[in-house]
Chains A and B, each alone.
Chain A
Amino acid sequence: MSNQRIIVVGGGLAGLMTTIKIAEMGVPVDLFSLVPVRRSHSVCAQGGINGAVNTKGEGDSPWEHFDDTIYGGDFLANQPPVLGMCEAAPAIIHLMDRMGVMFNRTPEGLLDFRRFGGTKHHRTAFAGASTGQQLLYALDEQVRRHEVAGLVQKYEGWDFLCAVIDDEGICRGIIAQDLRSMEVRAFRADAVVVCTGGLGMIFGKSTNSIINTGSAASALYQQGVYYANPEMIQVHPTAIPGDDKLRLISESVRGEGGRVWTYKDGKPWYFLEEWYPEYGNLVPRDVATRAIFKVCVEMGLGVDGENMVYLDVSHIPAEVLNVRLGSVLDIYEKFVGDDPRKVPMKLFPAVHYSMGGLWVDYDQMTNIPGLFAAGECEYQYHGANRLGANSLLSCIYGGMVAGPNAVRWAKNLRKSCDALPESLYEGYRRREEEKFEAILKMDGPENPYALHRELGKWMTDNVTVVRYNDKLRQTEEKIVELMERWKRIGMADRSRWENQMAQFTRHLWNMLEFARAITRGALLRNESRGAHYKPEFPERDDENFLKTTKARWTPDGPVIEYEDVDVSLIKPRKRNYAVSKEATKE
């Protein structure tokens, strides 16, 4: 078959790398994104990208990186793809360097590396403290090259509504809406790759960008794609509490020597260093977050009696800070008003990342044939807790795997999407258009943005750091109530031009569906593993829960199934960051 076309939805790191890989193989791509791809959420990433390039004489290796990642994820990730990622990492960093990313350098002009959480090695390449932005721009520029060459057609300002699935259950295209004219259109494709990123907005405020509602992934879950490990939500230990957003202060700040403390008995108390002498301030995020929670919530020792601790870099020379952490410290200074080069920052944990996501196989294909996924919207690489600076890597690597596999799939199809009847596409298109028309007509008393706030508060209070089964049950009931109230929303904006409220209302429904799966996944996992912690079940329970959660959508709520985890390469062992990793291997 000769004239394939492939659709990529999402232009963050994962989507752009997928696009480049496909275009490089000579296959045209239609690239969809809510925002101009250069403004995708990946720009937010500050700290860096991991790869065991081993330039510091520390004996680092891809295997060591792999072991840190599996151990850090509390053994919930299938191991072979994670090994593949770690082995590809050094070459990925070199590739990004060749694309012109302004990575920090050593005096010899080589790439510099810093430390991040959950490892003892200098393994993180970085461009100041705006690494994600720099990586995204490099890929965006390469895609622009392919665009000029005619291989990539961009649809920026379009919202993915659903996949088009034929009688045989194969994905054959998508339905999307132009967010200006609000036109709903069908697009044919021989393969579709979704790279739509994270879902932090489900928790109201998070470190994520505003568009990270998870709407596209949720729509696919409602079409039958499994949602794997929904309950694995990462809460980052250090963010600036805010009214509109919780702004991240990157882990790289601790990687460069930042120390976390609070006052106890009138004296500074470096509780992470005391509790975890081996890793100190660089314990993985789930561990650091629980420690900060314990100090603030249980012990009441937060700064000024509030839910905050100090993160201190004032002992590091300002010149060093500016070159290595400038943009992140600027964020603090800009939004809080204090200069962290002089006074310690006041921070608290915030929802940050979703380890869970669309279920994919080792080729990045979902359980709907022809539909692939890569990046934060899928579940494959981080188990129950992601190590810092591993996400940018998994996004780029996922795109490198998904792109070529999508091309292979498209080439092997017996029947091209062009041969399918127009009625198939028109049916899907009309259904989506009708849904939109119904939203425009809504005239109840509820406001979608206010409902969203309520959802966020419930999710943050009950489905984050510490989870209790009774609270999770109440949250489930609340979500069902919110779903009922969603139907009584009033549409204050009835315009058919750039109508953000109507679009948000649609996303809100999809957030509610996902929230339900997250909560159910958490409720049924009666153990503690990685980011998922239940005081009623404080231990990891490999016998019953060394398993991937797979949520399947039904009209009456999610149904949970479990799948064994592939632990063929490293035998599961207990996580303990108070001692060295070697001591846990005995």
Chain B
Amino acid sequence: MSAERAAVAERTVHLIVERQDGPDAEPYEEEFEVPYRPGMNVIACLMEIQRNPVNKAGKPVAPVVWECNCLEEVCGACMMVINGKPRQACSALVDKLEQPIRLQPARTFPVIRDLVVDRSRMFEALKKVKAWIPIDGTYDLGPGPRMAERDRQWAYELSRCFTCGACVEACPNVNERTSFMGAFAISQARLFNAHPTGAMHREERLEALMGEGGIHECGNAQNCVEVCPKGIPLTTSIAEMNRQVTYYAMGAWLRR
């Protein structure tokens, strides 16, 4: 082995993982040391623990449990808190992280085990804001509505939200005392209100945003837009939906 490769082989990555055996169990910290390889990400470290489930003290333990799937930042599964920041573990490259690397579950959501959390409330929020286009059916009804490419471009940016929950984790207004649905849901409502067919049913989404856990619970902390891995303009979406909601409410008042 060349001297250089030997040096690489000796280098290790130091991880501190906040673990929890089950939803009601007490959290505890466990340290791990895994061999370093150039270009590796947090997922590769966790995989190394799977292959050699031994903690830093040399004690055999159960491998760390976490969620992941695509490993290229498009499925939204592997969001966790890494060195204090909610982000995707797949795109968290070791070379760019300060060590020891601290991994924690996103505790805004109920913890299932170790780094796995239950994000079903996000999918419930999508139901609430009716985040879909109500098509008549999947039969052949000809082409869809035309759309200007310029509008399509910004709508496409919104459509890339992969329900990772980073914006929810970072939001100070989501906690035990509130039912705030989170920035992503407001942004999705904006997306569907922008679509030519979706716009025909915009009122239903605005009603939802005015209801419990709706847009009025946003405290304008702006943390969401900073953590969104897809760079979705969440605060712009919130401002725009605030405007739509206000006009809608005024109209409703005038119609009384």
Contact = CB atoms under 8 A, between A and B. Distances in A.
Interface of A: 17, 20-21, 24, 35-36, 38-41, 43-44, 91, 94-95, 97-100, 102-111, 127-128, 130, 133-134, 137-138, 141-142, 144-145, 147-148, 180, 209-211, 242-245, 247-248, 323, 327, 331, 334-336, 400, 447, 449-450, 453, 492-495, 497-498, 500-501
Contacts of A110: 146
Nearest to A98: B144
A262 B140 CA distance: 47
A134 B133 CA distance: 13
Contacts, number: 187
Contacts of B162: 38-39, 43, 133
Nearest to A36: B123
A492 B137 contact: no
A141 B132 contact: yes
Contacts of B156: 102, 127-128, 134
B76 interface: yes
B192 interface: yes
Contacts of A210: 68-71
Nearest to A154: B123
B69 A99 contact: no
Given A98-B135, A99-B135, A41 B65 contact: no
30 contacts: A35-B67, A36-B119, A36-B123, A39-B162, A39-B163, A43-B74, A43-B75, A91-B140, A98-B133, A98-B197, A105-B149, A107-B149, A128-B156, A133-B74, A133-B162, A134-B156, A134-B159, A141-B126, A144-B131, A244-B40, A245-B72, A247-B71, A323-B153, A335-B93, A336-B39, A492-B60, A497-B113, A498-B22, A498-B113, A501-B63
Contacts of A137: 159
A110 B146 CA distance: 6
Nearest to B49: A449
A100 B63 contact: no
Given A95-B140, A134-B159, A492-B61, A242 B39 contact: yes
Contact of B198 (A100, A127, A144, A494): A100
B53 A492 contact: yes
Contacts of B69: 35, 39, 41, 209-211
A44 B123 contact: no
Q: Is the interface of B mostly helix, strand, loop or mixed?
A: loop
A500 B63 contact: yes
A105 B63 contact: no
B56 interface: no
B210 interface: no
Given A141-B131, A245-B71, A447-B51, A501 B138 contact: no
Given A43-B75, A104-B149, A244-B47, A141 B133 contact: yes
A144 B153 contact: no
- For the complex of A and B, list the 6 residue pairs with the smallest distance between their C-beta atoms, beginning with the closest: A97-B144, A109-B146, A141-B132, A493-B62, A100-B133, A498-B113
Contacts of B16: none
Given A35-B77, A497-B22, A492 B135 contact: no
B41 interface: yes
Given A39-B70, A138-B133, 13 more contacts: A38-B123, A39-B76, A43-B75, A94-B142, A100-B198, A102-B152, A128-B156, A142-B138, A210-B69, A327-B74, A335-B39, A335-B93, A449-B50
Interface residues of B, number: 68
Nearest to A145: B132
B140 to A, nearest CB: 4
A105 B152 contact: yes
Given A144-B126, A334-B91, A498-B113, A108 B146 contact: yes
Given A35-B69, A110-B146, A449-B47, A493 B141 contact: no
A448 B67 CA distance: 18
Interface string B70-110: 11111111000000000000110100000000000000000
A498 B131 CA distance: 30
A44 B74 contact: yes
A20 B152 contact: no
- Between B72, B73, B126, the greatest number of chain A beta carbons within 10 A of the residue's beta carbon is seen for B72
Interface in B29-57: 37, 39-41, 43-44, 47, 50-53
B39 A243 contact: yes
B73 A331 contact: yes
A447 B52 contact: yes
- Between B70, B77, B146, B160, the greatest number of chain A beta carbons within 10 A of the residue's beta carbon is seen for B70
A97 B138 CA distance: 11
A77 to B, nearest CB: 24
Contacts of B119: 36
A180 B39 CA distance: 32
B91 A335 contact: yes
B132 A144 contact: yes
A527 B178 CA distance: 66
Nearest to A331: B72
B251 interface: no
A142 B51 contact: no
Nearest to B112: A498
B58 interface: no
A547 to B, nearest CB: 35
A109 B147 contact: yes
B189 interface: no
A67 B195 CA distance: 36
A554 B190 CA distance: 55
B21 interface: yes
